[in-house]
Amino acid sequence: MPKKRLKRIKYFDYSLLFIIIFLLGFGLVMIYSTSSYSAQIKFNDSEYFFKKQLFAEVLGIAGMYVAYKIDYHFWVKHAMFFYILAMVMIVLVMTPLGYSAYGARRWISIGPISIQPAEYAKLALIFACTAVVEKMGKSARKFRAIFMHVVLGGILAGMIFLITNNLSSAIIIFGISVVIGFVMYPKYNIYIIGVTAIGALVVAVRQWAINAQLSDNANFRFERILAWVNPEKFADDTGFQTVQALYAIGSGGLFGKGLGKSLQKLGFIPEAQNDMIFSVICEELGLFGALCVLIVFGLMLWRFVYIATNSPDLTGCLLVVGVFAHIAIQVILNVAVVTNLIPNTGISLPFISYGGTSVLFLMAEMGIVLNVSSRIRMEV
């Protein structure tokens, strides 16, 4: 009998799309629940933060669709332009276009539009690291290729740290290049670990030197480390946010107090809709709800792995790996900060924390991943 011919069909990851929509919707619910009290006090509008985030998410969905329709090779082809643009945007923070919020100068404003360059830099780095592999071809597995990855990540991370004083974003940016290096150059992992350790040592030494100068802001991060070790001792100052977050987590119990019934969000946790939103999730939905959120993120990462392993080429694979690294690192660090496993560094929870720039570029990343998934060909 003649062999049955296999039919090739296009693939689209509806599971990932559903997860994205769920996280966006859940994020809106939690932002409204977390911020309604403070928004009413500050702006006389309990839906202030909710409406701003909803607008950003609508723009993000449009951006995701545009990114989905564009061939992902386009981004890699122009990666150097996007990378240089990221450097320029970071430098613009020091110009009159830059402005401060929440005590930090990390944004640039052009008319009614404000952008945090660190969020764009994460995406630009993913493009740049992928372009290095694509341009080097067969020689991409040599040591000089991994050196390029470290340099690309180190430059942007260093600029973010030195110019905007944003250590958390610098860690994430450098972490993206490290994860891509782990995947692409397994035999050089020991070198990657070594370079990462040296970088951490340089940051620590620099901070020690700053602390030794005893300037006005000299011991800012040093105090955060002390507050991490003994938050109760600094409960009235540096450790206030951490202690209140731990109160929220502890009072939530197994199933929580119920949606909207958090007490810690009523002025106790500063800007609870931002970095500490996970603590309110724990208080209102309990340990069970928090675990469900982490499981959803785990499912998202699993879909990334599936798309990367079935990508039609290495370019698509590395783009998805970069997005995987971004989401994984940021979720892990945010949960670790909220639960006081690491010092407080101010890291948002992807798709859930309040932040227009963050959700815009996250949705662009999702569109690129979905575009890669659409290139997968299944045989039935």
Report pLDDT digits (tens) over 85-114: 999 999 988 888 877 766 677 878 877 778
Question: pTM to 2 decimals?
Answer: 0.88
pLDDT on residue 196: 57
- Rounded to an integer, what distance in angstroms lies between the CA atom of residue 72 and that of residue 78? 11
**Residues 6+ away with beta carbon under 8 Å from 150:** 177, 178, 181, 192, 195
Contacts of 345 (CB under 8 A, 6+ apart): 167, 168, 171, 224, 333, 337
Long-range contacts of 259-264 (CB under 8 A, 24+ apart): 259/29, 259/33, 259/284, 259/285, 260/33, 260/284, 262/33, 262/34
pLDDT of residue 224: 64
Specify whether the CB–CB gap between 181 and 223 falls below 8 A: no
List the chain residues with pLDDT less than 70: 1-9, 101-103, 137-145, 185-239, 378-380
| Closest to 31 (Cα-Cα) out of 337, 278, 254 | 278
Residue 230 has a pLDDT of 67
Written as six digits, the tokens of 43 are: 């702006």
Tell me, what's the pLDDT at 223? 63
Taking CA atoms, 243 is separated from 68, 227, 291, in Å, by 42, 9, 21
What pLDDT, on the 0 to 100 scale, is given for residue 370?
Answer: 95
